Structure 1
Amino acid sequence: MIIDFSCTNFRSFKDKAEFTMKADALKSKVDNTFEADLVLGNSVSLLKTAVVYGANASGKSNFIKAFLAFTWLIKNSHKFELDKPKINCYEPFELDVNTQKFPVNFKISFIIDHIKYDYEVSFDAKVVVHEKLDFSPKGQISNMFERKLTETQDYDVIQLGKNLTDKRIPKKVFKNQLYLSKFGIDIPHQQLTPVFRYLSNINVWNAYDKFSISELANEISVLISQKENENLKNRLSKLIRISDTKIESIASKELKREDFRLPNVIPDEIANEFFENNKVKTFSYHKLFDGKKEVGIKEFDFNKKASTGTKVLFALGGKILQTLDSGGVIVFDELDNSLHPKLCKFLVRLFNSKISNPRNAQLIFATHEVTLLDKDVFRKDQIWFAQKNNFGSSEMYCANEFEGLRDDTNFELWYRSGKFGGNPKIKEIEFIYE
């Protein structure tokens, strides 16, 4: 479970932007929270969901992109070549001459198997300048490893903590690679590999990006085609059916090569790649009628016949249901894209419910849809805002910082009236046409 996350000098965030999933000591909507047990009988109260609002270009999407850049770096830095040191996700704040070449910093606190971890990394365009992993196996903070910069051209040295088991591991890492990345690809380790796996499995998706949705839809298609995921397929069918799509069920099948009838002139290499990327196809099933009499079921190619909104629901809904089943963290930008507000609200409630979320999976998302600001869905500590200051730098703040705000307050009315900030300041017509 995620406890805290922060980013500094990343895209529109010049100063440190701090975000937390810690729950306040509120008595309302207790189902929206859970107690995460720690060692020695301790615990921390965490939120299951959090939402980020803000005007266009306020920084809310950049906050989601910070999650994406962080997880991308963990998953991919092991591939960086020594002679090609560029770190592609280095995007510093560019509206201040003092920060344009400063390092980007990410820090996250999380829990695995009742133990709290803190991982921090800073990097610029070519090298990692700081990397540190702490944990609290006995209730007190202990270092697992810390990067020590060297004057050599190629590598840094890693100092291992006293509570890290099995120290027979490499203690050098190329300057443009994360040390943690080694333990998900090259080197198995009893303590470090679970940390890599947890952080790299934080799912970050942009619901407005057609390519991203298509990629996710393909992933869900493959999942529900497998027999061991029959329950996921059935739940996704029910979700699509209750969304008034007139679809009775969905299913995915693995097609045979001859089903594609590819022209012989296509080179084998291209044909093989096409088949591997398209061999699983999703179908939807609708009631067939003779007048007003139901006479059977009609099969359709889901990708060709389904509406854009239904395709988005298939992709996002499938990933959400999978996360609810397995636990973990999922992060969305523009969750409301192509989905009805009532449906978005229902998806959020799936996370807040003990029935549908027994593993305490967490959902973090950014949206413009103000009708989701429902006091019956969110507590005030679950609502966040992004806003730019006069210097073009984004800032993050939580609704619980506002005096006089109660959990029975009409959050939507407060937001529309500008009491929270985070609303676009649209200039007058006369100003535009003067």
Structure 2
Amino acid sequence: MMVDFSVQNFGPFRERAVLSMEPAPISDDEYSIQDTPALKNGLLKSAVIFGANASGKTFLVDAIGCLKEIVDNARPEGDPLPGYIPFALSQETVSEPTSMELRMVIDDVLYTYTISYNERCIVSETLFHSPNGRKALIFRRGDDNKGIDPDVFAKVSSATTYLYIATDYNDRLCGAVLREIRKISVIYQGREQDTRSPFMLAQNDPEIKGMMLSALDAADLGIRDFYGEDRIVGSYIPKHNPSGGEVVRKITDIRLLHGFRNADVQDMAFPISMESNGTIEMFSIMGPISSALKDGGTVIIDEFGSDLHPLLSRWLVGLFNTEANTNGAQLIANTHDISLMDIRELFRRDQIWFTSKDRGNGEATLYSLAQIKGIRKKSDIRDDYLMGRFSAIPSVIGVSKL
């Protein structure tokens, strides 16, 4: 499970921004807290982030996606690293490294992974764990390379993480951390929807497909099944083995089977491209959500609920907050759906976060509702939010014309 994620000098986040899943010392309900021996107060099962457009919400999601991509790939010497987007409005930061830290609980042990990088190389990289509650270094990449196997490090380029290569060489602790990072799913709404990945999850695991179908049924979409049809789109002869003959190139078209009780044709399959935006969003997120609920993992969604009915969005959040979520599944989502800004029935105050950007210097900040004084539990905060009390809305109040 994710404990927290921090990022510095990335996009609008000049200073260190920390998204924490540790419960704040408040008296809110505890149904959305997962117990873990590694942390006295447990971990939150979900969090939502609100904020005006261009306030930093998507950059926060991008940062986690960049961390995954940097960590889980080998790159040749000199290859550019993805996600080097330093804060560009200051001469002090524009050429400085980007830094990220991810803390996780794995098998009831707390791990802390940090990385600092620029466009061409990884500047530093460290991994700690805390067995028996005591923080101990696993490795440190830097001046002294403490804990690093020199034979393994000889295989590491300046643009590749030691974590990745050490896992290839069967380092048990590095492997555990990399596997946990791989269990983080980053999903973007409003961009081209990824329907192939959830389809493949369902193809490889009948239980996940059953969970996806149950969710599509609960959403009252009339979908009874889904399957893929292979379509030939061309062929080629491999250059490395021309005598091996022609290779046929195929793609899989995903089709959703609808049931109609009172129609002349009671069952009909439609290409997913013909479905509504809401159906496509539901399909695209339910694969990772089902996988996380089944096996554990963290699902991070940009623009959550952008095409969903508010009741569906609330229902999906409830899948994580319920006591039935016992495998350490977490949902982190940014959204504009203020029906989710509910501390009476849906969230604790420490599960609601805001991003805000200073119009004067362009810097973004991240903070939780629990950090704002005077907010009582079980109060209706939506009007306060829309009136600008939490500073995370566009400045259109009082503007009556262009």
TM-score normalized with structure 2 length: 0.91
Any stretches of 5+ residues in structure 1 without a counterpart? Answer: 150-156, 162-166
Partner of 1:197: helix, strand, or coil?
helix
How many residue pairs get aligned? The number is: 392
Could you tell me how far 1:208 is from its partner in structure 2?
A: 1.6
Could you tell me how far 1:429 is from its partner in structure 2?
A: 5.5
Partner of 1:158: helix, strand, or coil?
coil
Tell me the residue number matched to 1:200: 182
Q: Distance in 2 between matches of 1:407 and 1:427?
A: 26
Could you tell me how far 1:345 is from its partner in structure 2?
A: 0.9
Question: Quick check: 1:33 aligned with 2:57?
Answer: no
Partner of 2:257: helix, strand, or coil?
strand
- 1:368-394 Cα shifts (integer Å, max 9, x gaps): 111110121011000111011221000
Question: Aligned match of 1:103 in 97, 107, 125?
Answer: 97
- 1:265-321 Cα shifts (integer Å, max 9, x gaps): x4335995741x31x63331312435xxxx773131341442221111111122212
Which stretch shows the higher mean deviation, 7-16 or 170-179?
Answer: 170-179
Cα contact 1:388–1:395 (8 A) shared by 2? yes
Tell me the residue number matched to 1:351: 320
Cα contact 1:284–1:302 (8 A) shared by 2? no
Could you tell me how far 1:235 is from its partner in structure 2?
A: 2.5
Tell me the residue number matched to 2:328: 360
- 1:31-81 Cα shifts (integer Å, max 9, x gaps): 11111112xxx63421000111110111111111111111111012x1x21
Question: Aligned match of 2:279 in 307, 310, 316?
Answer: 310
Q: Distance in 2 between matches of 1:286 and 1:269?
A: 42
Q: Distance in 2 between matches of 1:208 and 1:300?
A: 25
Q: Distance in 2 between matches of 1:330 and 1:222?
A: 17
Tell me the residue number matched to 1:7: 7
Q: Distance in 1 between matches of 2:274 and 2:259?
A: 11
Cα contact 2:66–2:82 (8 A) shared by 1? no
Partner of 2:152: helix, strand, or coil?
coil
Cα contact 1:220–1:318 (8 A) shared by 2? yes
Partner of 1:125: helix, strand, or coil?
coil
Cα contact 2:198–2:285 (8 A) shared by 1? no
Partner of 2:5: helix, strand, or coil?
strand
Give the residue type in structure 2 aligned to 1:391: N
Tell me the residue number matched to 1:73: 70
TM-score normalized with structure 1 length: 0.84
Could you tell me how far 1:168 is from its partner in structure 2?
A: 8.1
Give the residue type in structure 2 aligned to 1:234: G
Give the residue type in structure 2 aligned to 1:144: I
Tell me the residue number matched to 1:332: 301
Q: Distance in 2 between matches of 1:13 and 1:283?
A: 41
Question: Aligned match of 1:219 in 197, 202, 219?
Answer: 197
Partner of 1:50: helix, strand, or coil?
strand
Partner of 2:49: helix, strand, or coil?
strand
- Call closer, same or farther: CA 1:419–1:230 in 2, change over 3 Å: same
Question: Aligned match of 2:120 in 119, 123, 126?
Answer: 126
Q: Distance in 1 between matches of 2:20 and 2:237?
A: 48
Q: Distance in 2 between matches of 1:304 and 1:85?
A: 36
Question: Quick check: 1:387 aligned with 2:370?
Answer: no
Could you tell me how far 1:427 is from its partner in structure 2?
A: 7.6
Could you tell me how far 1:364 is from its partner in structure 2?
A: 0.7
Which stretch shows the higher mean deviation, 311-320 or 295-304?
Answer: 295-304
